[in-house]
């Protein structure tokens, strides 16, 4: 198994290009199942999760071709000949469940295995099922598969989500585009990835209003057309790389970034002592004077502080002056990186969904193990600011969500290399 070797070596300077959003691309790809015509996605990230979604769509009979070194994905749902999403593919990645809504809407049936992904909390499918049942689907769980049928097609409905789930919002919105009548989805997720999906569906001929707000209204249409759509900037990759100069010092510009994608996160950086400035090309981040200050963080649905930046923020706060409290409200079991940071000399106590971080002057390099996707990059960030060498093991998690990490960090002066295992 590969590992990554990081040496702490002072300030970083330069530019880092930010990829298209993994979580947007993984919901845009299944949208191709809604139409007979081709869907072309530009600015696609090159990640193993995208390969997994490609495999899944191909297993259903869809065509998926990667062009321009994977930065363009050309898809077509014309040849779909199966509505069975197999466990062997679905178990690798949670977003596989996003084929459920589109298959049900266009073909009136779907069999989708319960999903996998990083082992962070329960992440139930109840909200997806509740929404689709309200639209007239009959769904039962049998042998680890959701068996869904919509005899006579889906019908518009008023649905209120118990929690603003991103995945449930995406599945219901996609299904509603081809349902008969109007669907009103209340307490919908408001993430930029949702708005990006709705932009793409509108390009395909869907009638959708209110995305980005808690109430989305979808007027069903008879069919959707093909389209070309650029994937929105990855705000989590953006936030991750914003933390590199914050932890190490220096000044780094992230190309393609903008503050509106990460307002709550930028506010916390300001409070810690980091300046964030919008430029023509993106976002410039630099440390203000002196040691960073401790700050409390609570993860919340968008527009709050993203759970997917909590591990990276914890790495930053390990060397801040004072005591910080991080409260995780989205996923249980999402502090698995804390014991690894402790191995590097961090002062962290975890009680349930709360982690208390006592800032230390410096961390020390150590061999550590990545437990999930965001944890793996938080350990790299910590290593960049630590004395000596840090070896991060199990970096296959990293390949699911960050393309060319070594190249991007090295490009701004970090000492980092991948060791083939």
Q: How far apart are CA 111 and CA 149, in angstroms?
A: 9
Residue 318 is among the residues annotated as catalytic for this protein: no
Identify the active-site residue in 25, 118, 198, 318.
Answer: 118
Note whether 356 and 323 are within 8 A (CB).
yes
Class of residue 339 by CB neighbours under 10 A (exposed 0-12, middle 13-18, buried 19+): middle
Residue among 393, 371, 399, 394 at smallest CA distance from 49: 399
Neighbours of 162 (CB within 10 A): 10
Residue among 24, 22, 89 at smallest CA distance from 62: 89
Span between the terminal Cα atoms of the chain, in Å: 4
Residue 43: half-sphere exposure toward Cβ, Cα within 13 Å: 18
Q: How far apart are CA 79 and CA 36, in angstroms?
A: 8
Residue 90: half-sphere exposure toward Cβ, Cα within 13 Å: 18
Preceding omega of 240 cis (within 30 degrees of 0): no
Class of residue 222 by CB neighbours under 10 A (exposed 0-12, middle 13-18, buried 19+): exposed
Q: How far apart are CA 271 and CA 79, in angstroms?
A: 53
Residue 388 to residues 96, 216, 291, 328, 413: CA-CA distances in angstroms?
A: 40, 51, 20, 31, 16
CA dihedral 266, 270, 271, 272 (to 10 degrees): 100
**Residue 318 tokens, joined:** 């390990």
Q: How far apart are CA 389 and CA 92, in angstroms?
A: 32
**Residue 98 tokens, joined:** 């996003």
Q: How far apart are CA 302 and CA 164, in angstroms?
A: 9
Class of residue 303 by CB neighbours under 10 A (exposed 0-12, middle 13-18, buried 19+): middle
Active site residues per annotation? 118
């Amino acid at each position: 198994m590969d590992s990554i070797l990081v040496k702490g070596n002072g300030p970083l300077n330069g530019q880092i290009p930010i990829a298209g959003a993994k979580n947007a691309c993984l919901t845009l790809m299944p949208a191709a199942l809604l139409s007979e015509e081709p869907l072309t996605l530009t600015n696609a990230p090159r990640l193993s999760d995208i390969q997994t979604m490609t495999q899944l769509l191909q297993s259903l009979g869809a065509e998926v071709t990667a062009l321009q070194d994977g930065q363009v994905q050309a898809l077509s749902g014309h040849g779909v000949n199966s509505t069975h999403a197999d466990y062997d593919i679905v178990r690798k990645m949670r977003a596989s469940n996003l084929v459920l809504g589109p298959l049900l809407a266009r073909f009136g049936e779907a069999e989708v295995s319960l999903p996998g992904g990083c082992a962070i909390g329960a992440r139930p499918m109840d909200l997806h099922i509740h929404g689709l049942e309200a639209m007239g689907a009959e769904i039962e769980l049998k042998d680890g598969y959701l068996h869904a049928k919509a005899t006579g097609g889906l019908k518009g409905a008023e649905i209120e989500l118990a929690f603003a789930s991103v995945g449930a919002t995406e599945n219901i919105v996609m299904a509603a585009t081809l349902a008969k009548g109007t669907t009103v989805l209340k307490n919908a997720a408001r993430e930029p990835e949702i708005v990006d999906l709705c932009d793409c569906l509108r390009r395909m001929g869907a009638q959708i209003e209110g995305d980005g707000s808690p109430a989305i209204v979808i007027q069903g249409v008879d069919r959707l057309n093909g389209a070309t759509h650029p994937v929105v900037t990855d705000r989590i990759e953006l936030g991750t790389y914003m933390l590199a100069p914050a932890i190490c010092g220096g000044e780094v510009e992230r190309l393609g970034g903008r503050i509106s994608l990460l307002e709550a996160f930028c506010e916390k950086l300001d409070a810690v002592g980091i300046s964030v400035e919008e430029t023509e090309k993106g976002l410039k981040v630099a440390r203000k004077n002196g040691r960073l200050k401790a700050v409390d963080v609570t993860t919340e649905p968008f527009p709050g502080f993203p759970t997917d930046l909590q591990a990276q923020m914890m790495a930053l706060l390990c060397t801040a002056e004072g005591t910080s409290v991080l409260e995780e409200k989205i996923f249980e079991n999402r502090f698995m990186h804390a014991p690894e940071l402790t191995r590097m000399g961090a002062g962290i106590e975890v009680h349930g969904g709360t982690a208390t971080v006592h800032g230390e002057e410096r961390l020390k390099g150590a061999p550590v193990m990545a437990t999930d996707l965001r944890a793996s990059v938080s350990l790299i960030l910590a290593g960049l600011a630590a004395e000596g060498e840090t070896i991060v093991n199990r970096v296959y998690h990293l390949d699911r969500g960050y393309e060319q990490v070594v190249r991007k960090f090295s490009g701004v002066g970090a000492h980092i290399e991948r060791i083939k295992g």
